[in-house]
Structure formats: C-alpha cells, structure tokens
Amino acid sequence: MFLDDLNDKQFEAVRATEGHVRVIAGAGSGKTRVLAYRYAYLVNELGIDPANILCITFTNKAASEMRGRIAKLVSSEHVNDYICTIHGFCVIFLRQEIYRLGYPKYFQIIDEEDNKALAKEVLVENCISREEKTAEELLKDFGKWKYPGTYVSNYLLTSSVISEEVRNDLNVQLLLKQHKYLALDFHDLIYFTLFILKTNEDVCKRWQRTMNYVMVDEAQDCNDLEWAVFETLSEFYHNLFIVGDPDQSIYEWRGSRMESFLRFKSDKDIILDRNYRSTSTILDAANSIIANNIIRIKKNLYTLSNPGTIITHFHGKNEQEESDWISKRILKIKADGGEFSDNAILIRASYLSRSIEQSFLRHNISYVVWGGIRFFERREIKDALSYLRLIAFDDDVSFKRIANVPSRKIGKVMMKTLSGIADEYHCSLFAALKFMNDHQSPKKDAVNQFVTLISDLRDLQRTFTVSDLLNYVMKESGLLNCYRDDTEEERLENLNELLNSVKLYEEDHREDEISLESYLQDIALYTNADYSKNKNQVKIMTIHQAKGLEFPNVFISGLSEGVFPNRRSVRERKRKGMEEERRLMYVAVTRAVKSLFLTESEGFSVHGGFNKYPSRFLREIQQNLFVTEGMIDEDVWRNAEAFRHSLDIEINTKTGVGSDKINVGAMVIHDHFGEGVVTKMYNDDQYCEVDFQQIGVRFVSRNKLSLKELMELSDSENSSSLAIPNYLKEIEDRINSL
C-alpha cells in the first residue's frame, strides 16, 4: 500500500478523514507529506472526486509543491485548481459569483503599488500635501477602515446614493476609485467572497456541498477572515482538517491568529513530533528555547538520527569581527568540500546584513540578499504587465504608468487635458487620448503609434497567446529598447524571464481556456519566492523569509538582547511580543539540517540606542549543547542579565498581556502567585480579588496580572482541554456584521 512509508502518527493523520481534525506538525515532521498523502488517500482509497476537495496552502510556491507531490500519488487528471492559496480560491470563487456585486468575471487585481498610485490621486484631488498625509498613511487607515468588510454593502452596493458628506471621506474616495476601475486588492478578494457567502444562502449551500473535504496548511498563520472562509465552506459536511505548528506562528504582527488554531474545537488531535530534518543536538536546542513559552501546545521534537556536530556560539568584540568570523567559517566549509549555497545567514532585521555583506565582499564570497526586490515589483516587470493590463482592462493606473515608457512627451498639461475629457465623457484616459489623437492635426507620431499599438493589440489578443502578445508588446512598444544600454542588462534578463514564465504558465494550463484576463488575475497572486533562482551563493535573509526553508548550515547572526529578541516588538506587545520573538528564534534554529552557528557582538546598537549584550536565547539553550568561541568576559554576562531584567520589567509594567480584557471569571497569571481566577473587581476595576490555585484568595493590582488566554495541551491530553467558553466571539461578531 502506498501509505507504508508513513510513520504511525502520519498514518493516523492521513486516515483521519472525517470530522474536525487538528494536526500539530512540528518543524521537519513531514506535514506536506501528510497533506499530499491524505489527498491521495481520499481519491485513491475512498473514491472521492478531487473536485470536492479543497486544499488551502499558505503560498503559491507551497501550492505548486503540493500539486507536484499529489501528481506522483494520483493520476494527473485528479490534480486541479482547488489546491491553492486562500486568495487563489477566492479568485476561482469570484470568477463565478462576483456578478452578484455588479463586477465582471475578469475583474482586476491590484497590488500595493497600484493602490499607492490611487491613494496619491485622492490626496492630490483633495489638495492634501505630503506633509499633511502620505499615501502610505492613507493606505494604512484604509486597511483599518475596510477591516470589518461592511464597506461592501454600505458603499459599493449603494455607490450611486452616497451622500456628499460621506464622499468627502478619503477612505470612501479611495474605495470608489478602486470600484471605478473594477479593481480588487488582496483584502477585497476575501471580503467579497465572505460577503457573497453570508448574504446568498443558495450560493453558500452550493459551495458547501461542493467542498466535501477542506484541508488547510499553516493554519496557525491564518487571520480571522481566512478562518471564516474555510470554516464557512466546511459547515455542511463538518470535514475540516487543519495542519500547523503554534510554535512557528510568527506573523501575528500582520494579523494571523494563532489563538484560532489553539482554540479549534477538534474531534481528534494528532501531534507529529518526529523530525526528519535536523540532528538531535539542533532539536534539543530548539526544544529548550521554546519550552520557555507559556501559550503553546506542548510537544518535544525528536529524531532517530545521530547527535551531529555541537552548536558553535561566537562572541565578537564588534560587528566586523562577528561578520569576519562568519566569512572565515563559510570559507572553511567550502574548503572542506561544501558549497556556498549550503549556507544561510538568518537575521532579525534587514539592516543587520550590511556588515555581513561588506565582509563577504572583502572575502570574495558570492552571496544573494533574499527577497531584496520582488520579481513582479521590479520596474521593468511592472511596465510590461501594465501594457497587458491596459490592453485587457483599459485601466487608468496602467495607462499613467506606461504612457511615457518609452517617452512620448505626454506631459502634465496633456495628462490634465485627458483627465478633463475622461471626466466629461465618462471614459478611460486611453479612450480620451484616442479621441484627442483622432481629432488632432497634425498628429504626434509617438502618440499616434501608441494609440495604434494598443488598439491593434486589443484585436490581436483574440488570436494571440499571452506569450505571443507579451513578446509583441515588448518589441513593438519600444520597451526593450529602453533597456538596451549595457547598464540595464539585468532588466532585459528580467523581461526575458517574465516571457519565459508566461510560456511555463501556458504549458502548465494547456488543458484550460487561457485568456489574457485570467493570466493577469493569476499572476497577481505570485511573489518573488515562486521564481527564485538556485545559484551557488550564500543566502542572506530575514528569519521571516526563511520560514518553510531548510539549509545544511545555518548562521543566526545579531543575537543581542534588544536586537533579538527585538526590543520594540516586546515593548509594544509585552509578553505576547516576547513569545513571538522566541517562536521566531525557534523557527530560525529549526532551519538547520547539519550545523548551527550562533553569533553576536559587543558595541552600540544605533538602531536601538543601547549597548549590545548576548541574547537571552543563548542562555535558554542547554549549556552542554554548544561551545563558545571568542573572548567573552564574565562582566558581559552580568550586564546581559541586567539588561534582560530591565526589558522584563517593561514587559510586566502596568499593561500585562490582555490586562484591558481582565474581568470577573478571567483566568490570569501572577508572576509570584501563579495562576488563578478573578472573582471580583473593585476600586474602579483597578484591583482584583483572585482565587489562586496554589495559595487561595489574594487582592492584587490589575496591572500585576496577565490574562491566561489559552490552556496548554500536552501529548497525553485531548482537545477538550482547549475548549474556551466564549469561542472566538470577536470573530463571530465581525463576520455577522457582514
């Protein structure tokens, strides 16, 4: 049987097909294998139609990998579009259902840069200077304003009757601009999907009955509304299979809700704790670090492999000494038969790469800064895709971007004239340009050629493939000639890579009906990680970028208290921030396969404004697991403890975790008295009567208490211990508001 190569817990997870199942999958424990094999088991053994299985992944790269794995286990016709990201599913859903909101099937998907361009337009139209408000600030406000999703019914469905007073709101103006271009950002994809599901009972039931089985990867990193989508879709059959690791939850700062994973009311919990990636020494280090967190599901990763090499900690007197030690160690690895590409430098923040990069240049070490500029965010790529978008959607954002790429002398005066024509005749800027060109004598050659080109291309898209259309655009628009200069060789290579990616897209979708519109929608979901090149280079990346990756040798650099754990993060989010920092360290350590190196240095942190001392995370590792190189005085350790203590005081001062949510009945933690339950509030709720488990009733200040938001679950406990009385009430309220 094809399941024979699974271990016992993987086998159990694959065969757990019915009900709510939660798999707590430790780092390197084979969660992707479990998801792929479970999909294959449903198809091969149970005979489930793949059209009734939804498999949600966290990234497009993960979806591609998942489809590849599944294709080896089932026949090719059983691999479909329902193996995708949550945004990918929403695009599929909205292509069928968005007409209910008055949008066409092939709507636009716009990214952050396009949104920024629209935000700038709003500010200019309202005579608001950059000193008063930036486009970035408006977009931040816009995101918060959008969050409940009520804007769909309040504004988009009633745009013609919005009062002038409301139209003065900058957020409303930006929303209406998006609506004018029939453009959706990534948040809209989810909001619109939820709105349709919540307001159309027949649609909801049809999709619920279609999705017999819903599987979600990296569920601990999903936000409230993402949870709402797959929970809604699974309501009819109640077959929801979630996989994740709360110890690797590192995106709470951007909205992920680990609590939703921990509070999940499962019928069955399975813990995958056997690691197939790292040595036992590395795993013991990771286990000893993460054990210091309170809010987690207890597990202890183990491996059947040998202990491997001992971990090396290096202490430098300054950043240069630290960086040069890294360089020399990498050169030694290469001299011993390794490759540069075997090594990854993981840092807490991108600014920490500077010293390392300078050292690598001095030592002639080939390296790449991972994710420096995303492929689809590069200027030349945006230009080429804007041509395609102008052809497909006739949108003004794309027109403004490429009207003068290459230069056609369409200046501010002409653009203002075009805007006036567009407003008067309720048409696009390109239509206004075509109108002006048709009635102008003599015609400007460059403008006339541009109008003719776009018009011809709109006719050609009916018969041309997307790749042929792109090739034609790049040649005939003059785009390639813009970058013919020797200094722009990289941009030409990127354009050629874009063309190659389109051809690969067409090859992967040769069984489907491919249109220019569908390609633009799909490609908008991709990131740089999906098209990264595998070169023999040392990789420098932030720990967040390293999530899901592994490397033979890992260097965690900049391990100074206040830098990592990050002082600002801890100050802002208190204990929650500290626990997320520790999870980040856990992720970093578990990227290593064979060797782990931990480095830090003395000196002054310009970014943090403090002297640097070794991170607490070094002290949390069992001392027998690593050796220290470099001269380190005992005073340094004492100062490190004092600095750590000062940060801990900040964590525990006045605003403990969730102190604003503490009320009668809340489970709380006191640093000295331990856990207890609040039985009474008094003195304007500043003081609490608490029944502590160990010592009984005490009267303490509310500021000295932290909310114990979640119960721990050990290997021997079942999921019922995680049941929380007011389960996700906040989420339910938000969804009900739709």
Q: Which residues are catalytic?
A: 31-32, 217-218, 248, 591
CA atoms within 13 Å, Cβ hemisphere of 367? 27
Instruction: State whether residue 278 is helix, strand or coil.
Output: coil
Contact present, 361 and 540 (Cβ < 8 Å) = no
332 closest CA partner among 314, 348, 305: 314
Q: Which residue has the tokens 């004092």?
A: 642
List all residues 6 or more positions away from 623 whose beta carbon is below 8 Å from its beta carbon.
Answer: none
Per DSSP bridges, beta strands 696-701 and 705-707 are unpaired
For residue 431, count CB atoms less than 10 angstroms from its CB and return exposed for 0-12, middle for 13-18, buried for 19 or more.
middle
Rounded Cα gap, residues 719 and 714, in angstroms: 10
386 closest CA partner among 113, 576, 190: 113
Rounded Cα gap, residues 443 and 292, in angstroms: 73
The amino acid at 519: Y
Q: Tell me how far CA of residue 239 lies from CA of 22, 47, 208, 211, 392, in angstroms.
A: 11, 16, 11, 9, 39
Token output for 325: 């030690």
List all residues 6 or more positions away from 153 whose beta carbon is below 8 Å from its beta carbon.
Answer: 195, 199, 738
Token output for 275: 């690691």
Rounded Cα gap, residues 651 and 405, in angstroms: 52
Contact present, 598 and 325 (Cβ < 8 Å) = no
Rounded Cα gap, residues 112 and 502, in angstroms: 22
Contact present, 295 and 580 (Cβ < 8 Å) = no
Rounded Cα gap, residues 737 and 716, in angstroms: 39
Q: Which residue has the tokens 């977009």?
A: 139
Q: Give 558-606 as a DSSP string.
A: --BTBTTTBHHHHHHHHHHHHHHHHHHHHHHHTTEEEEEEEEEE-SEET
Contact present, 175 and 79 (Cβ < 8 Å) = no
List all residues 6 or more positions away from 163 whose beta carbon is below 8 Å from its beta carbon.
Answer: none
The amino acid at 106: Y
Token output for 367: 């390296």
Contact present, 192 and 149 (Cβ < 8 Å) = no
For residue 16, count CB atoms less than 10 angstroms from its CB and return exposed for 0-12, middle for 13-18, buried for 19 or more.
buried
